[in-house]
Amino acid sequence: MLVACHDCDLLHHLGVIAEGATARCRRCGGLLRRRRRNGIERTVALALAAAVLFAVANAFPFLSFDMKGQVTQTTLVTGVLDLWRQDMPEIAALVLATSVLAPLLQISLLLYVLLPVHAGRVPWQMARAFRLLRHVQPWSMMEVFLVGILVAVTKLAGMAEVVPGLSLWAFALLIVVLAGAMSSLDPQEVWERLGVRS
C-alpha cells in the first residue's frame, strides 16, 4: 500500500504491519501507522470504563474546603457556574469546553463509532463522527486540569483544610483509561474494517 507521510509528504510503500508494531517515516520520523493487538476491542473496553468513570467524576464533589468550620465543595461544573456568575463567560466557556464537554464528546464518539464497528456494522454518519473525534482530541484537557487541582490545593493548604473527594480518584483514573483508549486506537484499522463490509 502506498502512503505519504503526513508531516513531510514522502511516499512510502507500506507492507503488512505486525500487531504491536509501529511504522515511521524514514525521512522525518513522523508516525505512519501503529497497530495494537485487538486494538478496536481494547479501545471499546477502555472507552466503556471511561464513560462510567466520567459519570462518577462529574456526579460527586472532587474537593471540599474547610475554613473555620465553613465548608464549601466543588464539582467540575460548579467552578464553571461561579465563573459565569462573576461575569467571566469566556473563561467559563473555555473551562467547560476543555474539562467537561470535549472529554464527554471524545468518549461518546469513541463508543458511537466503535461499538457498531466491533459488531461489524457501519454507524450512521460514521465518517463525520470519526473525523470529529480527531478534531476534539487536542481540546480534551483533563490531565492539565488535574495539575491545576494540584497547584490550587497547594496554594490553599496554608489557608484551610482541603479534603479530596471520591470523584477526584475517579477523575485521575479516567485520565489514564482514556489515554489508554486513544493510544490503542488505530484509525487505519477502523477504516479498513469498514471498507471490507461496505
Contacts with other proteins by CB under 8 A lie at 2-4, 6-11, 27-30, 63, 65, 67-68, 70, 72, 74, 78-80, 82-83, 86, 88, 90-91, 94-95, 98-99, 127-128, 130-131, 134, 138-139, 141, 144-145, 147-152, 154-156, 158-159, 162, 187-188, 191, 195
Please give the Cα distance from 179 to 188 (Å, whole number). Answer: 18
Please give the Cα distance from 70 to 152 (Å, whole number). Answer: 18
By C-beta, is 17 or 149 nearer to other proteins? 149
By C-beta, is 21 or 71 nearer to other proteins? 71
Please give the Cα distance from 159 to 157 (Å, whole number). Answer: 6
Find the shortest distance in angstroms from Cβ 80 to other proteins.
7
Find the shortest distance in angstroms from Cβ 24 to other proteins.
12
Backbone angles phi, psi at 64, to 5 degrees: -125, 150
Specify whether the CB–CB gap between 149 and 168 falls below 8 A.
Answer: yes
- Among residues 54, 44, 40, which one has the least CA distance to residue 174? 54
Please give the Cα distance from 45 to 39 (Å, whole number). Answer: 10
Find the shortest distance in angstroms from Cβ 19 to other proteins.
19
Measuring CA to CA, how many Å separate 83 from each of 47, 114, 115, 168, 194?
Answer: 30, 36, 37, 21, 44
By C-beta, is 121 or 131 nearer to other proteins? 131
By C-beta, is 45 or 114 nearer to other proteins? 114
By C-beta, is 55 or 156 nearer to other proteins? 156
Find the shortest distance in angstroms from Cβ 18 to other proteins.
20
Dihedral sign, Cα of residue 22, residue 193, residue 15, residue 41: positive
Find the shortest distance in angstroms from Cβ 134 to other proteins.
6
